[in-house]
Structures are given as C-alpha cells and as structure tokens.
Amino acid sequence: MYQIHFDRPIHVHFIGIGGISMSGLAEILLSEGFTVSGSDSRRSPLTEMLEEKGALIRYGQRRDNITDDIDLAVYTSAIHPDNPEYLAVQEKGLPSLTRAQLLGQMMRQYKTAVAISGTHGKTTTTAMVSDILLQEGADPTLSIGGILKSIGGNYRVGGPDYFVTEACEYTNSFLSFFPKIGIILNIQEDHLDFFKDLADIRNSFHSFAKLLPEDGCLIINGGIDAYQELTEGISCPVITFGMRDGYDYYPSDISYDTMGKPSFICHGPDGFTLPVTLGMPGTHNIANALPAIALSHRLGIEDSSIQQALCHFEGTDRRFDYKGEIGGVTVIDDYAHHPAEIEATLSAAAHYPHKRLWCVFQPHTYSRTKSFLTDFAKVLSTAEHVVLADIYAARETDTLGISSRDLQDRINALGGDCHYFPSFDEIENFLLENCTAGDLLITMGAGDVHKIGENLLGI
C-alpha cells in the first residue's frame, strides 16, 4: 500500500473533494505543504475554502483532470468503477488510496493517534475528547463525524502530537487505520446490508482491537457481552468502563438538573474521583463521557480541563440539538436512526422540561427498517405521539417490500399513537394544528428530517 509522509509532500488528487470528510483530509495535506487538486460535481463552501487555501479544483469529473504531475489519487466508496477519473488513474497506473486508507496513513504521522469506535456514540465521544484536548491547550488535529460547535466544523488542523478521529465499522473502513489508542463504546447489530450478523460485527471489532500496538491502549465498554473475546490476543493494556461499580471507570451519585443535564462522580483506578457536570442532557451521555475521561486521565490531562470541557460541552449538530421555539413548542433535532439510539434520545427527553412529547421519525434505509422493524416499533411506542415520514433510501434502491406504513401499523398495535404522512408539507401542517405551548418536538433520523423543524421555525 502506498505510504504518505508529511516530510515528503507530493501532489494528491481527490476524486470527489467536496465531501465533508474528503475536504478535511485535503485541508490537512495543504497545511503540511502538499500540492492538492481535486474534482467535484459542483462548487460549494467547502470547495471554495480549499481553493482559497491553494487547492486546484475542477468542476465536473473528466479523464483529462488526471494530469501527469499527480502522484497519488484518493477516492471514496461513492466513486463507481466506471468513473472517468478513476478509469484514468487505473490506466496510468497511478497509486491510489481509499479515503479510509488515506486517513489511516495520516494517523501514522502523529505521536498519539486516537480512534473512537462503536455502533453508537462515536461522534459525541469524539467531540468530548476533542473539547477536553482543546481546553488543555494540546493543539490536536481532529476528524469528527459531525459539526463540532466549539470549532465550527468537523475538522481541525493542529500540531503533531494528537490526532483524534471517529472509526466507523461500516465496510470495515476502520481496519485501514493505525491508532495508538482505541476506544470501543458498544457493539450492536447495525449495517446488516454489509455485515452478515452480530458475530460478523464482533469479529471486525476484534480485528480493530488487534491493530493497537503494544505501547498503546484499548478503552472498552466492559458491559459488552463477553468483551474479553474482543481483547483476546491483543498486546496492549485494556481499560474498562461501565455504568456500575466493577469497571475501571464508572459513575456514582447521578443526578439531573431541570434541563436534564446530569451530574455524577467518576471513579477510576488508584482512588481517582472526579465530580463532573455535563453540558448535554441524557444518561447515555454519561456513558459517552466515561471513556473520554479514562482517555484523558491516561494522557495526563488536568482534572480541571476535563471538568471545564464537559461542563461547557455543547455537543455536535444533530445530537439533541436545540433548534428553537415556535408558539411555546421547543424544537430539538437528533441523528438517532437505530433503536438503541432512539431509546437513548427519548430517555434524555424524559428529563427535559415538556408537557407532551412529539417524535417525528424518518426511518433510514429499507434494509435497516426491515431488520429492526419490531425493535423500532417497540421503542417508538413509548413516545406519547409519533409522526412518521417516508423511509430515507440513502444508497438503496430496493424497497424490500417495506414502508413507513408497516412501522405505523406495528406502533399502533402496541398501543402507540402514530401518524404517517408521505410529504414533509403534510407533516408540518399536522404539527402546526396539534402541537401546543409547552410541548417538545423532536425530529429524528439520519436523513433530511431536520428540515421539518427548520421549516416550522423559518430557519
């Protein structure tokens, strides 16, 4: 595999440079003195930012964009084999890397690379770690799967000491990484359009854990079933965390303020204790904070930096994200699109002030909806009122014979109050007619359901 080196900058061409992840990688290479070119279908704020920093970007993907001075091409999984630039790269025999492979190569250029994995909570925990390092003044380089409010973006170019990134298991992309410290938050069934079953997913996380070097560290949720199977054969130290006594890091004395924000005492090895108040609501955010604290403690971060960062933590876009208020109705947006994530978000909402809860859910992909239809219905039936949008197809074209009406029928059969409308306009009109002052409205899903709340608010 081609290996990049920050001390030997070359010309890298990005096929599809305008994506939020690809543009961040391009920005890091530009800061390290690399020549960067790329192509995308249209101009955007991200491509304009890169052009201002010195990248040469062409709009429209054509064979002649692959010039003879290019040393390396980078592409994403969205690029098909018949893409004209991809074909030109193959015909010229140019070295090429996937986005994940490039990210893995870049991790090798930093003293301490941290990769945060898990079925749920990756973005929030990565953001917490990022804010703690920023509070400490550690000047980290960051790659986050959402917009971190404290930096106004999902990437930050920092110094050579720390690189912090999410590590996604989908298509086994995290197996291209080279972390020194790894975090495994949880493991559940998901992405069953790629993985065969839970055992297949666990095998991938075991392979991820085995990437860690002897002088590194694995921080893992001790509540994962038979977590020892995932640590078998790895040479680095293992640190556990969990929501009860018995793990290396655990909370006690949990309480909530009037806005649902938790406070607790974190306990760790050798008598370590740290009072913590989180700036975000939800018990699940305690579980997200524990590995961030464990990592920070291992890195020698000051206790005060941990406390200050977590207390002022505002989260990332689309994670229990306060959007505004209309007619006394509070509008929140959340990325939850898996039954476990929905359960965590609804649990957080229970501690948030409201009269009635309205959950507007947009299922994400036909395969996920079909696989978890019963689980979706069970968890959504606990909300007072549910409104369903059509399934967001994303990358899929086969409906698998499933629809939001099937989910509506399941929810109502369990005693829930569920409504379905095929258009956002109909949903918005229904909400305007039925929501009253004091209600809490949560738009939920990984697609474009956030537009419903934004349209209601006029933003």
Contact 327, 435 (CB under 8 A): yes
H helices of 300-338, where? 303-311
Contact 209, 174 (CB under 8 A): no
Q: How many CA atoms lie within 13 A of 88 on its CB side?
A: 18
- The reported pLDDT for the residue numbered 197 is 93
Cβ atoms < 10 Å from Cβ of 428:
18
Q: What is the pLDDT of residue 189?
A: 85
- Asked if residue 278 lies in contact with residue 262, where contact means CB atoms within 8 angstroms, the answer is yes
pLDDT of residue 78: 79
Sign of CA dihedral 318, 324, 325, 326: negative
Residues 6+ apart with CB under 8 A from 451: 424
Selection from 120, 125, 126, 152 nearest residue 140 by Cα = 126
Q: How far, in Å, CA of 2 to CA of 11, rounded?
A: 13
Residue type, 61: Q
Tokens for 425?
A: 């306009």
Catalytically annotated residues = 122-123, 166
Distances (CA, A) of 378 to 21, 218, 332: 34, 34, 22
Q: What is the DSSP letter of 65?
A: G
Looking at residue 303, the DSSP 8-state letter turns out to be H
List the chain pLDDT tens, one digit each, 459 residues.
889 999 999 999 999 999 888 998 999 999 999 999 999 999 998 899 999 999 999 999 999 999 999 999 999 877 889 999 999 999 999 999 999 999 999 999 999 999 999 998 999 999 999 999 999 999 999 988 878 888 888 889 999 999 999 999 988 899 999 999 999 999 988 887 889 999 999 999 999 999 999 999 999 999 999 999 999 999 999 999 999 999 999 999 999 998 889 999 999 999 999 999 999 998 999 999 999 999 999 999 999 999 999 999 987 778 888 999 999 999 999 999 999 999 989 998 988 989 999 999 999 999 999 999 999 999 999 999 999 999 999 889 999 999 999 999 999 999 999 999 999 999 999 999 999 999 999 999 999 999 999 999 998
Question: β-strands 11-15, 72-75: how paired?
Answer: parallel
Tell me how far apart the alpha carbons of residues 407 and 281 are, in angstroms, rounded to a whole number: 28
